[in-house]
Amino acid sequence: MALKDAAVSVKDVAALAGVSVGTVSNVLNRPERVSPETRDRVSAAISELGFVRNESARHLRAGSSRTVGLVVLDVANPFFTDVARGVEDTASAAGLAVILCNTDEKTAKENSYLDLLEEQRVRGILITPADEISDRLTDLRRRGTPVVLLDRKATGRDQCSVSVDDRKGGDLAVTHLLDSRHRRIAFVGGPTSIAQVADRLRGAKVAIKRAGLPDDALTVQIMEGLNVASGRLAIQQLLALPKRKIPTAVFCANDLLALGALQELSHQGVRVPYDMAIVGYDDIDFASAAMVPLSSVRQPRHQIGRTAAELLIEEADDTGGHKHRQVVFEPELIVRESSTRTRRA
């Protein structure tokens, strides 16, 4: 049995098995080239010493590592954990580990993680940028680290991305509310510097315009963050408007906001959906599990992650034939109780 201070290397294994280090390496990597007896002897030595390969040394020689980086805005958002699972499934099937990094929407944190990942020589990086596509990211790619954008469409054709048509999603949500006779609608979102928020708002405006309504039929409420607390606050502010300006429906840029809104409305005795309808975005699991099941725009979260990881692996393993692709999924509106006035007075 190996002792605590062992630090066993191929050399030790080779010595114990009475072979050369090259042979040990062959047993590990191309066992068919080694005679059965030798192979057994080496295997025995490996388990006796408790030998564990040193990935850094392999990697140093090989030039490429077995990890990919996944950089997201917020791991606490169920949307991203689901995407992460998709990434992990694909990556681990390919024998790759995932380093999950959390930026909290801060460019500074994003940059320091990118440095770290590049120093680790990760095979590639999946990222939902906190802001504009930074120079840091461009440099990274130029130096040879593949980057796939996640939940954000690449602007050019020279880069892979996997996203969902957020404009269409915003359009779907608001069109649904308009179809349900709502004429005063609020959009509740986070900072528009986040591309997803900006696009969903844009889609909402398109729907309003198509219906021939004036611009002010849509009240735009921009909050600090995309979380539950901001959702509650947004409702407080909306309910404080002059009575005839209070919307009859709100479309929230994500489900965390929508859940906060739902809670605050209930708290204030406003009935959902009878007095006010709500549509969220992402269709996280908690949306259908909410007390008033939440209508929401569904995104194929898991598939976004899987596809992005596939593109990344394809680009990383590129033998020359890689074509950059911009995959765009279609959002789907899931109508639940929070926006259907079946028993309307």
Partner DNA sequence: CGGGTCAGATGAATCGTTTCATTCAGCGGT
Partner DNA sequence: ACCGCTGAATGAAACGATTCATCTGACCCG
Task: Residue 27: count other Cβ atoms within 10 Å of its Cβ.
Answer: 24
Q: Which two tokens stand for residue 179?
A: 């179809």
In whole angstroms, give the CA distance from residue 300 to residue 41. Answer: 50
What is the distance between the alpha carbons of residues 200 and 266, in angstroms, rounded to a whole number? 25
Is residue 39 a contact residue for a second copy (CB under 8 A)?
A: no
Residue from 47, 50, 60, 330 touching DNA (CB under 7 A): that is: 60
Pairing of strands 332-334, 295-298: antiparallel
Strands 185-189 and 147-150: unpaired
Q: Output 18 or 193, the one with its CB closest to DNA.
A: 18
How many chain residues are in contact with a second copy, going by CB under 8 A?
60
d(C-alpha 256, C-alpha 230), whole Å: 9
Measured from the CB atom, the residue of 66 and 184 that comes closer to a second copy is: 66
CA dihedral 28, 33, 38, 44 (to 10 degrees): 20
| Span near DNA by CB under 7 A; candidates 46-54, 138-146, 158-166, 214-222 | 46-54
DSSP for 45-104, please give it: HHHHHT----HHHHHHHHS--SEEEEEES-TTSHHHHHHHHHHHHHHHHTT-EEEEEE-T
Hey, how many other C-beta atoms are within 10 angstroms of the C-beta on 209? Answer: 13
Which of the residues 11 through 40 are near DNA (CB under 7 A)? 11, 18-26, 28-29, 33-35, 37-38
First to last CA, the chain: 77
Query: Which lies closer to a second copy via its Cβ, residue 197 or residue 228?
Result: 228
Query: Of a second copy, DNA, none, which one does residue 65 interact with (CB within 5 to 8 Å by kind)?
Result: a second copy
What is the closest distance, in whole angstroms, from the C-beta atom of residue 155 to DNA in the complex?
32
Residue 58 binds DNA, judged by CB under 7 A: yes
Between 9 and 263, CB nearer to DNA? 9
Question: Under the criterion CB under 8 A, does residue 324 sit at the interface with a second copy?
Answer: no
> Cβ of residue 220: shortest distance to DNA, in angstroms?
49
Question: Nearest distance from residue 24's CB to DNA, in Å?
Answer: 7
Q: What 3-state class would DSSP assign to 310?
A: helix
Cβ pair 127, 154 in contact under 8 A: no
DSSP result, 160-174: EEEEE-HHHHHHHHH
Residue 142 or 344 with smaller CB distance to a second copy: 142
For residues 167 and 188, give the distance between their C-alpha atoms in angstroms, rounded to a whole number.
15
Q: Which of 30, 142, 243, 343 binds a second copy (CB under 8 A)?
A: 142
Smallest separation (angstroms) from DNA to the CB of 321: 22
60 binds a second copy (CB under 8 A): yes
- Say which entry of a second copy, DNA, none residue 322 contacts (CB below 5 to 8 A, set by partner kind): none
Q: Residues in the site for a second copy, rule: CB under 8 A?
A: 1-8, 50, 52-57, 59-60, 63, 65-67, 75-76, 78, 81-82, 84-85, 88, 92, 97-102, 112-113, 115-116, 118-121, 139, 142-144, 228, 259-260, 262-263, 266, 285-286, 289-292
Give the footprint of DNA on this chain (CB under 7 A): 7, 9-11, 18-26, 28-29, 33-35, 37-38, 51-54, 57-58, 60-63
